[in-house]
Amino acid sequence: MTSSDAAPDPLTEPLAFGQRMQILRERRGISRPVLGGLLGKSPSWVKQVETGKLQLPKLPMILRIAEVLRVRDLAELTGDQSMSVAMFIGPGHAKLPAVRDAINRFPLPGDREAPSLPHLRARLDRAWQARHSAPNHREVIGALLPDLILDAHLATRQAQTSEQRRRAQSLLAETYALSQFFLAYQPDSSLLWRVADRGMVAAQESEDPHAIGTAAWLLTQAHRDAGPRDFDAADEVNRAAVDYLRPLLPDADDRVLAIAGALDFELGYTAARRGASGTAWAHWDDAHDKAVRLPPGYYHAVTSFGPAIMGAHAVTVAVELHAGGESVRQAARADAAVIPSHPRRARHRIEEARGYQLDGQPDVALATLEKANAAAPDTIRYNGYARRIILEESEAKSPARRRRAASLATKAGLLAA
């Protein structure tokens, strides 16, 4: 290919919508048949849009295309800067600079005396509890993270024995896990990757199966959220962790069993993103088999895995497979009230809303998003799927639905650029 044949950059050159769509599709490694299937359209429809033979799609379809292509800003797809709305990246939190500084800083052993490992363990437990119980969870953990990151680093550097160092590395890996929840969907993807990588290194240094499984769970999500080209990398990390934990499961404690179940589900989640229905549900079954072996009220602090979450996971699989009817059926079976975590409950409500919209029930979708906002405004504010539904319904033909969407957007700050 000569330089004159190279595809132009949709962010720097004035291109038609279809040209931008084709370039972004190819950058994500998605074929026309796959994109068409995810949109409920034929490959020829995709080709006609890309070549300009069809008119610009209406806003609801533009938003669905943006969702499938994981467009970070709607203007990347439309070329219209007046439509500059963040899709999968939320606003930068006020505490992001302090957390970034703590992550980028490498304290020396003599900076100050590290707290004891039991003290660090207790602080992490309180931080996870605060994350699950606070509707404004990013505000809460953003305030705790800078000191936790510093002290966890100091603990690893000042450890006196190899056993102490391994325990400290496990706590550091868990601190990075908490950091990843704070950083998710914020405008600093390089920092998120730094945290995911460092968490995996610390976990492996700890030689703790639970820490290793948790770090792999988070790294899998980072790869998958990067788009279809990274699905293979997500599966590679995921399967390696599953294989590593498998021989340990007969004698595993609840934490290790839970992280193994969470990893099984992640394989199913990625398969659903690929459109592989049978594989996705088979991995959900594997995860369910582990969930029922856990105590009835068990709830894993990092992954939220446990018996109560499997209904929510079933909704997610159905939604990612774009099966509207099945999504609604699974939503009817799932009981969000048993999910103790405010942010995880809100995330489940958002998945339900996606299912209702897929099933042609936009009013129910908006009502479900209102429940998500009541559970944890901090979750809905940063969620690209919620943002897409709100944007779409703000252009609905029904005046009542438009008003409801506008009211929810105002409450949750979903339209903030």
- Structural domain boundaries in the chain: 3-83
pLDDT value for 106: 78
- Tens of pLDDT, residue by residue over 357-405, are 999 999 999 999 999 999 888 888 888 888 888 878 887 888 899 899 8
Confidence of residue 417 (pLDDT cuts 50, 70, 90): very low
User: What letter does residue 56 receive in the DSSP assignment?
Assistant: P
Q: Rg of the Cα trace of the chain?
A: 22
Q: In the predicted model, is pLDDT for residue 60 greater than 90?
A: no
Instruction: Give residue 282's identity as a one-letter amino acid code.
Output: A
pLDDT value for 13: 52
Distance CA 175, CA 170 (A): 9
Q: Are 310 and 348 in contact (CB under 8 A)?
A: no
- Tens of pLDDT, residue by residue over 221-239, are 999 988 788 899 999 999 9
Mean predicted lDDT score pLDDT of the chain: 88
Distance CA 388, CA 45 (A): 22
pLDDT value for 391: 79
pLDDT value for 247: 97
User: What letter does residue 116 receive in the DSSP assignment?
Assistant: P
Confidence of residue 40 (pLDDT cuts 50, 70, 90): confident
* Both structure tokens of 262: 């969470």
Q: Are 292 and 333 in contact (CB under 8 A)?
A: no
pLDDT value for 109: 58
Task: Identify the three-state secondary structure at position 229.
Answer: helix
Q: How far is CA 374 from CA 315, 345, 380, 411, in A?
A: 20, 10, 10, 10
Q: Which residue has the higher pLDDT, 150 or 30?
A: 150
Q: In the predicted model, is pLDDT for residue 10 greater than 70?
A: no
Query: How distant is the alpha carbon of residue 159 from its chain centre?
Result: 34
Domain 3-83 in CATH: superfamily? lambda repressor-like DNA-binding domains (1.10.260.40)
Confidence of residue 91 (pLDDT cuts 50, 70, 90): low
- Tens of pLDDT, residue by residue over 146-167, are 999 999 999 999 999 999 999 9
H or E element that contains 398: none
